[in-house]
Amino acid sequence: MAGLLAAGGCGSGNAPASDRVSTTPETTTTTPLRSTSEFAALFPGGPYPGPRLTEIATEPPIRVRVRRGVDQVTVEAEGALRLRGDVGRAYRYAAPLTLRRDAGAWVIRDPAGRGVRWPVGTLRLTAEGGGPMTLGENTYPATLALTPRSGGTGGDGVETGTFDVVNHVPLETYLPGVIERELYGGWPLETFKAQAVAARSYALWERTIAPSRHYDLESTTASQVYGGKATDTRALRAVAETRGQALAFRGRVVPAFFSSSAGGRGQDATLAFPNRVEELAPLRAREHGSWDRQSPTYRWGPVERPTATLSRRIAGWGQRRSHPVAGLGTLARVEVAGRNRVGRPAVYRLTDTAGRTFRIDAESFRNACNHTADGTIPLEKPTRLLSSDVDIAVSGAAVRFTGGRGHGHGVGLSQWGAMAMARAGHGYTAILDFYYPGARLARLY
């Protein structure tokens, strides 16, 4: 989703006229400036509908992948750890434990260095007495599940010797660990409450996408940032005071996407996330006014990148994603091929020096520009593209990005905008009404 950059100045006072919040839901249109259906042929496939409100009567568990493809972990706890395999009884070991995967079995070593092999699949760890467990710099509540990864060709299921670590945790326990990582501690409580509802709604939607998968969400900006057990009192209070509340539209939970800053104009969810989400009125692009102008990335640039290296990054991203842009040679021109109804780029057209053209949605273009392909050096923060709402000029050996707006995909809530609205006296329900027009607040449990 989005993490924040550096803290910017904070202000308050009366909102400018263009930023005043209406209590009347925005009138939406099925014919935006450039219709979403215009791009449908580019993005074949089916979207993921949100879960029905009637399907969620109690607090659900969430599975968050907190380590991906690791070959060893050390898990600490205040007391002993209890380990359980796919079947059979649980075993008690003194902490800390070091665990690795070898030839279809877990190799477990206790503090004295004594080792045991356990030939089971997924291994589940809990702290005796229900306390948290520490993994590296993070502390996690509830359960850690270690699941072996498979590789090989042709789907033969050969183990790679690596595994994922997934935190199984109740939703309301998970959320404070998101809120305190996504927002600055000094921001108003109403911003935290708006973020809590958005994060809860998003998590409920994500857990329906691939129920057969061994996790629901990532702990990074690929989903929403999660740092484990929370200590921030404002985050804990915001989650407690909005317990069970989610955004709903036509009887389903809305995937309440959010980003750091939209730079004044938002993006349609169906254009930012092709094939992932249905066409929903609350997730259509809209003018944000200047609510997020205090963001340090409200405007950014210039950023200059070598043409040859950038071209390889884009093609490498295309190869990884099986996208036609994998055939891109050296960039010669980048043009906006379609805009959403508020003027934000939705699709780019890339032309290389051989005259070949490729169409790519704007958010994928940003990800491709930031991709670390084979033979390319990972990008430093100042040279990454912060959003796809930017002016682009190719000039020989360099590509210049200017007039950048915002940080992130621009769908739904702007975190900096929510902060400014709260400082101007708006409550979390008004903030949610502004960023997700037409959605209603529903208490699920």
362 within 8 A of 347, measured Cβ to Cβ: yes
Structure confidence at residue 89 (pLDDT)? 86
Structure confidence at residue 41 (pLDDT)? 42
- Residue 224 CB: number of other CB atoms within 10 A? 28
Structure confidence at residue 209 (pLDDT)? 85
| Residue 370: half-sphere exposure toward Cβ, Cα within 13 Å | 17
Among residues 190, 83, 121, the alpha carbon closest in space to that of 429 is found at 190
Name the one residue in this structure whose structure tokens are 């061994």: 214
For 92, residues 6+ apart whose C-beta sits below 8 A from its C-beta are 80, 81, 82, 83, 128
Q: Which residues pair with 80 in a beta bridge?
A: 94
Name the one residue in this structure whose structure tokens are 């404002």: 234
Structure confidence at residue 445 (pLDDT)? 96
Calpha distance 143→130 (Å, rounded): 9
Query: 260-279: string of b/e by CB count within 10 Å (b at 16+)?
Result: bbbbbbbbbbbbbbbebbbe
Distances 47 to 198, 294, 330 between C-alpha atoms, Å? 20, 34, 33
Calpha distance 394→314 (Å, rounded): 14
Among residues 337, 414, 323, the alpha carbon closest in space to that of 367 is found at 323
Calpha distance 285→378 (Å, rounded): 32
175 within 8 A of 240, measured Cβ to Cβ: no
DSSP assignment of 147-173 equals EEEEE-STT--EEEEEEEEEEEEEHHH
Structure confidence at residue 156 (pLDDT)? 54
Q: Phi then psi for 212, rounded to 5 degrees?
A: -80, -10
Name the one residue in this structure whose structure tokens are 């839901």: 25
Q: Which of 317-320's residues contact partners 24+ apart within 8 Å by CB, and which partners?
A: 317/364, 317/367, 317/368, 317/371, 317/373, 318/368, 319/373, 320/371, 320/373
The pLDDT profile of the chain, 445 residues, written as one tens digit per residue, is 444 432 233 333 333 333 334 333 333 322 233 333 444 444 445 678 889 999 999 999 999 999 999 999 999 999 899 999 988 789 999 999 999 999 999 999 999 988 899 999 999 999 998 999 999 999 999 999 999 998 644 445 677 889 999 999 999 999 999 999 999 999 999 999 999 999 999 999 999 888 889 999 999 988 999 999 999 999 999 999 999 999 999 999 999 999 999 999 999 999 999 888 889 999 999 999 999 999 999 999 999 999 999 999 999 999 999 999 999 999 999 999 999 999 999 999 999 999 999 999 999 999 999 999 777 788 988 899 999 999 999 999 999 999 999 999 999 999 999 999 999 999 999 999 999 999 999 999 9
DSSP assignment of 392-415 equals EEEETTEEEEESEE-BS---SEEH
88 within 8 A of 118, measured Cβ to Cβ: no
Among residues 242, 165, 167, 254, the alpha carbon closest in space to that of 203 is found at 254
Query: 360-386: string of b/e by CB count within 10 Å (b at 16+)?
Result: bbbbbbbbbbbbebeeeeebeeeeebb
Instruction: Please report, in angstroms and rounded to a whole number, the separation of the first and last CA atoms in the chain.
Output: 25
Structure confidence at residue 157 (pLDDT)? 62
DSSP letter (8 states) at residue 294: T
Structure confidence at residue 301 (pLDDT)? 95
Calpha distance 214→62 (Å, rounded): 11
Length of the chain, please? 445
Dihedral of the CA atoms 309, 312, 316, 317 (nearest 10)? Answer: 70
330 within 8 A of 352, measured Cβ to Cβ: yes
Whole-prediction pTM value? 0.86
- Burial of residue 444 (number of CB atoms within 10 Å: 0-12, 13-18, 19+): buried
Structure confidence at residue 376 (pLDDT)? 74
Residue range 349-378, pLDDT digits in tens? 999 999 999 999 999 999 999 999 777 788
Among residues 345, 322, 318, 341, the alpha carbon closest in space to that of 409 is found at 345
Pairing of strands 258-259, 413-414: parallel
Query: 335-354: string of b/e by CB count within 10 Å (b at 16+)?
Result: eebbbbbbebbbbbebbbee
